[in-house]
């Protein structure tokens, strides 16, 4: 979710039975206007699944706390819990994007949350981290597009195209053995450098959770074999 979409969430957008969050609004800022509620960036509503293990129990607990606050203030009936924003800041109906960014920066500094670039993780970085891990685990681009709220799948691919080599290595590892196991003619000794690159690639994939020991070329068609330019 985008930070503005998180700020724009109300309790009526959370369906605890189906485990879905409906994203219909976003908080934006304009000079002279301040922060205000608007529709989403693509002007379309979308639904995303709630993590049933980590997020769903937390949301249920927070919902109960907010309901209790309404009861204590004697607002039950006058104010519907569904109309209340999930995130808010002191003296305001909803939380602004700048407020959440500052709060998350403080959280990152306190807990030493550093990214791969040795800089503090930003709130928007969480969105990129989710998408990156989705692709590395072989998730469907079309499904990711729907979750992220991109207008089309090409926009999603363009943003995360640099992650593709991980899956390319996986595919190449399946294809390369048939080049030197006799499928295209006499066996060719790949040499120590070739073997080293294969092993390095296997170790890289294993580090990302791929259970690879040795590529299996039994189901590879000869016509599908390409020149191994990645070596």
Range(s) within the chain of domains with CATH label 1.10.443.10: 3-123
Q: Is 158 a residue whose pLDDT tops 60?
A: yes
Please give the Cα distance from 225 to 175 (Å, whole number): 6
Largest CA distance in the chain: 85
Chain-centroid distance, C-alpha 46 = 15
Q: What's the pTM value of the predicted model, to 2 decimals?
A: 0.66
For the chain, percent of residues with pLDDT exceeding 70 = 67
CATH number 1.10.287.610 given to 3-123: no
Look at 101-110, 124-133, 150-159 and tell me which has the smallest mean pLDDT: 150-159
pLDDT digits (tens, 9 = 90+) for 26-58: 999 999 999 999 988 878 889 999 999 889 999
User: Given pLDDT bands bounded at 50, 70 and 90, which one contains residue 205?
Assistant: low
């Amino acid at each position: 979710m985008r930070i503005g979409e998180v700020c724009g969430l109300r309790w009526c957008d959370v369906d605890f039975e189906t485990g879905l969050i409906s994203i219909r609004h976003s908080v934006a800022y304009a000079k002279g206007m301040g922060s205000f509620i608007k529709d989403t960036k693509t002007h379309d509503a979308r639904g995303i699944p709630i993590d049933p293990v980590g997020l769903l129990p937390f949301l249920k607990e927070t919902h109960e706390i907010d309901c209790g606050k309404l009861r204590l203030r004697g607002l039950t009936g006058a104010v519907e819990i569904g109309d209340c924003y999930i995130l808010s800041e002191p003296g305001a109906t909803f939380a602004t994007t700048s407020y959440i960014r500052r709060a998350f920066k403080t959280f990152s500094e306190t807990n030493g949350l550093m990214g791969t670039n040795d800089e503090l993780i930003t709130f928007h970085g969480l969105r990129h981290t989710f998408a990156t891990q989705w692709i590395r685990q072989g998730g469907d681009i079309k499904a990711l597009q729907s979750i992220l709220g991109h207008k089309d799948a090409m926009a999603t691919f363009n943003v995360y195209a640099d992650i593709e080599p991980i899956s390319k290595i996986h595919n190449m590892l399946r294809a390369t053995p048939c080049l030197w196991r006799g499928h295209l003619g006499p066996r060719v000794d790949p040499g120590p450098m070739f073997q080293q690159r294969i092993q390095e690639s296997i170790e890289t994939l294993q580090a990302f959770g791929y259970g690879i020991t040795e590529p299996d070329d039994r189901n590879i068609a000869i016509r599908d074999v390409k020149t191994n330019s990645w070596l």
